[in-house]
């Protein structure tokens, strides 16, 4: 597995036999725009299915994991394509069925947290901040609305989804969102992979991933289709959803009409 070209929005490297590292390579924000999403989807639809691959370390280059999806791509003329492309990434990850360990430093927000939360484990640095701020822009996060209750329980998930607030790494660990907090989360993830995953059969691991997530992924993708329709057919038609996105891009306070 060769290192990805420097012009790509992601970098892929074989750390050792059976273990790959994928970096979001657009620091400092590592925004999950269409190009980044397509590159990640291409990895999980292609190289991630190599028969001998046993685990993937997913991290952001620079001080932050990801500020989330592109806000500009949430505008009415592009939001439908953005949502379907972004959600396609999760289908590709599920189909690849390879264990993915997220390494989180700094900000891990919005679509970035959705991506990390879909991984099998999250290793976070003490400075990590995790949250779903979409509601502050007048919208909601379809994947997180279904995924976070699975990881941390409905009450804690609704706290994040409805307030838009962020958690510290320790708060996220206590809430069940983060699995381990470490000064060097990449080293912690690597140690976990070496101890618990690399000694195992790659074929058996993929079957185990599918088995562990079979009911969950079936429910997730069924319900996600419905939330796409709620978002595109109802939310986008409101004044406040458009006002929230435009006010963010225009760097001003939103003027809500509550409609």
Alpha helices by DSSP H, listed for the chain, are 34-45, 79-96, 111-118, 142-152, 154-163, 169-174, 185-192, 202-233, 239-249
**Among candidates 183, 188, 16, 171, which has minimal Cα distance to 102?**
188
- Stretch 15-38: mean pLDDT: 97
**In this predicted structure, what is the pLDDT of residue 7?**
85
43 forms beta bridges with none
**In this predicted structure, what is the pLDDT of residue 20?**
98
**In this predicted structure, what is the pLDDT of residue 58?**
98
User: 């991984």: which residue's tokens?
Assistant: 119
Calculate what percentage of the chain has a pLDDT beyond 90.
97
In the predicted structure, residue 33 carries a pLDDT above the cut 60 = yes
Give tens-digit pLDDT for 2-15: 555 668 999 999 99
In the predicted structure, residue 38 carries a pLDDT above the cut 60 = yes
CATH numbers and ranges of domains, the chain: 1-184+204-259 (3.90.226.10)
Give tens-digit pLDDT for 40-78: 999 999 999 999 999 999 999 999 999 999 999 999 999
Contact 232, 75 (CB under 8 A): no
**In this predicted structure, what is the pLDDT of residue 230?**
97
Contact 1, 37 (CB under 8 A): no
**In this predicted structure, what is the pLDDT of residue 2?**
54
- Stretch 127-151: mean pLDDT: 98
Calculate what percentage of the chain has a pLDDT beyond 70.
98
- Stretch 8-28: mean pLDDT: 97
In the predicted structure, residue 167 carries a pLDDT above the cut 80 = yes
**In this predicted structure, what is the pLDDT of residue 6?**
62
Beta-carbon contacts of residue 5 (< 8 Å; ≥ 6 apart): none
Rg (Cα) of the chain, in Å, rounded? Answer: 18
| Whole-number Å distance between alpha carbons of 196 and 192 | 6
| Whole-number Å distance between alpha carbons of 142 and 225 | 9
In the predicted structure, residue 243 carries a pLDDT above the cut 60 = yes
- Stretch 158-183: mean pLDDT: 98
DSSP per-residue letters across 234-255:
TGGGSHHHHHHHHHHHTTS---
Give tens-digit pLDDT for 78-106: 999 999 999 999 999 999 999 999 999 99
| Whole-number Å distance between alpha carbons of 41 and 10 | 11
């Amino acid at each position: 597995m060769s290192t990805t070209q420097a012009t790509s929005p992601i970098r892929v490297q074989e750390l050792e036999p059976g273990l790959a590292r994928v970096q979001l390579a657009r620091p400092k924000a590592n925004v999950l725009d269409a190009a980044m999403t397509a590159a990640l989807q291409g990895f999980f639809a292609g190289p991630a299915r190599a028969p001998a691959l046993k685990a993937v370390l997913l991290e952001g280059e620079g001080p932050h994991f990801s500020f989330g999806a592109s806000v500009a791509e949430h505008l009415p003329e592009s939001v439908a394509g953005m949502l379907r492309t972004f959600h396609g990434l999760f289908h590709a990850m599920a189909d690849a069925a390879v264990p993915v360990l997220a390494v989180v430093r700094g900000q891990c927000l919005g679509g970035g947290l959705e991506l990390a939360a879909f991984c099998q484990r999250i290793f976070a640095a003490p400075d990590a901040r995790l949250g779903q701020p979409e509601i502050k822009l007048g919208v909601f996060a379809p994947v997180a609305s279904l995924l976070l209750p699975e990881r941390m329980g409905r009450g804690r998930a609704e706290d994040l989804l409805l307030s838009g607030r962020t958690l510290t790494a320790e708060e996220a660990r206590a809430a069940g969102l983060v699995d381990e907090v470490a000064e060097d989360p990449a080293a912690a993830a690597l140690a976990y992979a070496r101890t618990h995953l690399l000694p195992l059969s790659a074929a058996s691991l993929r079957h185990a991933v599918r088995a562990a997530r079979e009911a969950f992924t079936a429910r997730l993708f069924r319900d996600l289709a419905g939330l796409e329709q709620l978002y595109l057919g109802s939310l986008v038609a409101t004044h406040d959803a458009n006002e929230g996105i435009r006010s963010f891009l225009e760097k001003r306070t939103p003027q809500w009409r509550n409609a």
